[in-house]
């Protein structure tokens, strides 16, 4: 046993020596090979182009900011194009304006030349007439030509018509006469007033468009007209018509005269327009009346319709069940047992709403009115002079009775 153990140990030592020698040889060979490869000339590495590199990067979607930035750039480009077009149009308009100004200056120079010619022509006619006397030199009429500078049609009809009007204007200026002296027998001056009686009762509207659709009235004059400087005019029994509208702030009817008619003893009639106003018993313009409102019944009906609508809304809500979802929303459901109640409530609510809207529209069209009864005493004031065309004051004032009705 001891001999065998000794042999095994000797073999193991021999194997270790052989293994260490073999490993050292292999290591020396590897070093020689590495040294030989490093000493050789190695070619430079080839450059790899970017097109030969393949990546597996996933394409990303553009963000909202990138999209907005791109849209903003496009809008800026469009705005720049629009600004360029507008600038071009402005330059064109400026050039056209300069052209029109030159044309206007030329036209003004032609007008001045024509005025000079007209003055020389008038002077030549006066010298050629041969009449004796002192002549007052008249300033030539300045010709004013109205031409549309924006009209490029080349029509000179406006220029020709303007030259034709020059002579007419000169003739009219030379033939002006002073105002004729008017007599109170055929003329009633302004600020004349006369007493009268209201024949027709009024119910004037006070709405927003009352002044556009006034209410007519009729006044019978019951006294002589009071002219300035204590003069009188015989307008007794004449009729004056007009129209008026209500003013809710003053509770008065503003009345203006439009026509006056008279019949003389010889049967001749006068029917002329007159400008004036009516003053009431308190000597204030207009007549004070009673304010009457017609909207009470309609307002009560509108209130009742709104009450019915509220009852219907309550019935509709009683037949519905509302639940709040986990996300915060509201869900409305109708149970089969309450379906009739919900339907009836919805119908009543809709009907009440329709009636309420109808009566509200009616209320907007109804406005208060001011009523004035007939037979009230008024004063008619003429604001402008009245040309009678017939001598009304030549009649007998003491016995001025109207013609009998046949």
User: What is the C-alpha to C-alpha distance for residues 147 and 300, in angstroms, rounded to an integer?
Assistant: 64
CATH 2.40.128.260: which residues of the chain?
Answer: 187-289+369-394
| Cβ neighbours of 391 (radius 10 Å) | 13
Domain at 187-289+369-394: CATH code: 2.40.128.260
pLDDT digits (tens, 9 = 90+) for 33-90: 877 765 555 555 555 554 554 444 455 567 777 888 888 888 889 999 999 999 999 9
Let me know: does 378 contact 278? Beta carbons within 8 Å: yes
Q: What confidence score (pLDDT) does residue 221 get?
A: 95
Task: Please tell me the predicted confidence (pLDDT) of residue 355.
Answer: 82
Q: Residue 220 forms beta bridges with which residues?
A: 197, 239
d(CA 54, CA 47): 15
pLDDT score, position 346: 78
- Low-confidence stretches of the chain (pLDDT beneath 50): 50, 53-57, 130-154, 158-160, 162-163, 166, 169-170, 173-177, 397-406
In angstroms, rounded to a whole number, what is the distance separating the alpha carbons of residues 156 and 161? 9
Do strands 290-292 and 320-324 pair parallel, antiparallel, or not at all (unpaired)? Answer: unpaired
Q: What is the pLDDT of residue 5?
A: 64
Closest CA to 163 of 148, 150, 146: 146
Separation of alpha carbons 165 and 121, rounded Å: 16
Tokens of 226: 């009071």
- Count Cα atoms within 13 angstroms, Cβ side, for 23: 6
Q: Are 198 and 219 in contact (CB under 8 A)?
A: yes
The predicted pLDDT at position 90 comes to 92
Per-residue pLDDT tens over the stretch 273-308: 999 999 999 989 999 999 888 777 777 777 787 878
């Amino acid at each position: 046993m001891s001999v065998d153990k000794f042999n095994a140990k000797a073999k193991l030592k021999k194997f270790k020596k052989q293994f260490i020698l073999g490993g050292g040889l292999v290591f020396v060979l590897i070093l020689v090979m590495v040294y030989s490869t490093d000493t050789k000339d190695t070619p430079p590495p080839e450059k790899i182009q970017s097109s030969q590199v393949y990546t597996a990067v996933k394409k990303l979607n553009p963000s909202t900011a990138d999209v907005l930035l791109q849209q903003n750039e496009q809008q800026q480009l469009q705005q720049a194009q629009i600004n360029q077009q507008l600038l071009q149009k402005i330059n064109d308009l400026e050039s056209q304006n300069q052209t029109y100004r030159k044309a206007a200056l030329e036209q003004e120079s032609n007008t001045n030349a024509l005025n000079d010619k007209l003055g020389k022509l008038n002077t030549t006619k006066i010298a050629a007439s041969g009449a004796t006397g002192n002549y007052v030199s008249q300033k030539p009429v300045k010709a004013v030509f109205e031409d549309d500078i924006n009209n490029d049609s080349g029509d000179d009809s406006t220029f020709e018509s303007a030259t034709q009007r020059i002579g007419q204007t000169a003739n009219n200026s030379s033939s002006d006469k002073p105002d004729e002296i008017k007599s109170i027998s055929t003329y009633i001056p302004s600020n004349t007033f006369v007493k009268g009686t209201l024949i027709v009762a009024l119910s004037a509207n006070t709405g927003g468009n009352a002044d556009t659709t006034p209410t007519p009235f009729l006044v019978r004059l019951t006294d002589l007209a009071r002219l300035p400087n204590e003069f009188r005019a015989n307008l007794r029994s004449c009729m004056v018509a007009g129209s008026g509208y209500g003013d809710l702030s003053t509770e008065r009817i503003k009345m203006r005269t439009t026509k006056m008619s008279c019949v003389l003893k010889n049967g001749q009639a006068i029917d002329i327009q007159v400008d004036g106003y009516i003053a009431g018993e308190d000597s204030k313009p207009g007549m004070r009346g009673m304010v009457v409102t017609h909207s009470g019944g309609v307002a009560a009906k509108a209130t009742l319709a709104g009450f019915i609508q509220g009852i219907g809304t309550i019935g509709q809500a009683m037949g519905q069940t509302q639940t709040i979802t986990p996300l915060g929303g509201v869900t409305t459901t109708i149970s089969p047992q309450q379906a009739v109640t919900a339907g009836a409530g919805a119908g009543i609510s809709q009907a009440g709403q329709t009636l309420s809207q109808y009566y509200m529209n009616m209320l907007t069209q109804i406005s208060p009115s001011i009523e004035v009864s007939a037979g009230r005493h008024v004063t008619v004031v003429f604001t402008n002079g009245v040309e009678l065309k017939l001598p009304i004051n030549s009649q007998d004032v003491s016995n001025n009775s109207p013609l009998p009705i046949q």
